[in-house]
Amino acid sequence: MHGTISKPPGAATNIATSRVVLLLLVVMTGIAPISLYMLVPALPVLATNFGSDISIAQMTVSLYMVGIALSQLIMGPLSDRFGRRPVLLAGLALMVAASVACIFAQNLPQLIAARFFQALGGATGMVVSRAIIRDIYARDRVASMISLVVAALMIGQMVSPLTGGLIETAFGWRAIFYAITIGAITVAVGIAVALPETRRDRAAGSGFRGDVGILIRNRAFVGYVMCQVLASQIIFTFAGGGPYIVVTQMGRTSAEYGAWFATSGFAYLVGNLLCVRFAPRHSLEKLIWFGLALQLGGSLANLLFSFTGWNEAPAWLFGTQMIVMAGNAFVMANSAAGAISIRPEAAGTASGAMGFLQQGIGALMSQFGAYLGGHSTTTLPLTSAVLAISLLCAGMMIFVVPRREVVVSEALIEQAEEEESGMM
């Protein structure tokens, strides 16, 4: 049947309950972002060793993010066409080759170029992992599994800068890339040995152009994607402006900012863990609305505190932002689940489009947040921007995503896909 997993029914259940597969989903999702953050503590050392400005060394991070965005757009559709396993293994092979090139880079341009290809290959796991989750889990479990993977990933991201700093201090910056290379090889071996192919059967004549055409004409898909992307921009905007507000406006140290910012990550982690608990018992639409309520409530409170001047102290600013981030976790996980469930056999394409928009717009919003934080004397511009984004996010659910009066089951999804394919 169109839309079923291309293996016996029992096989899908075995894959979904496998702890090894769940672990692989976590590590393949985390290999690219963890590799990004591991190098950050070594940026001043890179600038000094290569006799270059810190802004040039920063390009090893900024172009890495560009590579992540492009990878989302390229690797998702490829995984729909050629399968999850071969695309994952090819992406990790590219990451290994680029990591070796980083080890032997003789100047910053070489390192920057190698980092771009490292991200292009490594981010394959980010986009394909969401597609695999949709392949092997029922729609009502997708959000909870995405949240579980993200929660585990958040722990890795929290410790990766510390790990990178310790490695650089003990062995030098090139040792960071030795560690990344070993990690990428380990993940690739795990996928080759333990991860079966999960891609769904495709209808005759379906392909990238057909998938894209159907998805962009689907109001629910557009609404869920934009809701997820806008929710992610709250993170990028606040992260861009936060350092300037805390260090420049409030006169605190960068170390203190790092400690306060960690509270936002902790709240996001808690939100994901709560989503794992509640998702099996509630529809994703209800969980999105719950998250939106937290986002709007927290961002509105922060704006009011900006008028009163209370959040000129970091405890008020980040305490309220924690409410926003807990809600943000609900919105992002469940809207992502909704988007990739619209056309399950094109989950890679849907995931890739969502990831590309998230990262691409995020790079701009991070700069926008930095401008708001660095060119003002209060928190008001930044908190106004966060509230505006929260309102736009809610607007996607109100005005774009169709209202559902029935519970959408797997059977109804498959029936709709069959009717849709029969019209093409």
pLDDT in tens, 89-102: 999 999 999 999 99
Closest residue by Cα to residue 347 from 174, 206, 170, 147: 206
Residue 184 has pLDDT above 50, yes or no: yes
Q: Taking a C-beta distance cutoff of 8 angstroms, is the pair 15, 136 a contact? A: yes
- Name all domains of the chain by residue range, CATH numbers in brackets: 9-201 (1.20.1250.20), 209-423 (1.20.1250.20)
Residue 328 has pLDDT above 90, yes or no: yes
CA distances from 216 to 49, 183, 221, 225 (A): 48, 37, 7, 10
Q: How many CA atoms lie within 13 A of 262 on its CB side?
A: 14
> Of the ranges 60-64, 303-307, 312-316, which is most confident?
303-307
Residue 288, both tokens: 């999105």
Query: What pLDDT is recorded for position 14?
Result: 61
Query: What pLDDT is recorded for position 254?
Result: 66
> Of the ranges 69-78, 340-349, 391-400, which is most confident?
391-400
Query: What pLDDT is recorded for position 207?
Result: 64
Query: What pLDDT is recorded for position 239?
Result: 81
Q: Which of 33-47, 102-116, 285-299 has the lowest mean pLDDT?
A: 33-47
Average pLDDT over residues 296-303: 96
Q: Over 241-256, what HEC string results? A: HHHHHHHHHCCCCHHH
Average pLDDT over residues 280-291: 90
Query: What pLDDT is recorded for position 363?
Result: 74
Residue 130 has pLDDT above 80, yes or no: yes
388 pLDDT band, cuts 50/70/90, is very high
CA distances from 318 to 26, 33, 156, 299, 309 (A): 28, 23, 22, 11, 14
Q: Which of 121-130, 147-156, 221-230, 382-391 has the lowest mean pLDDT?
A: 147-156
Closest residue by Cα to residue 77 from 343, 360, 418: 343
Average pLDDT, the chain: 84
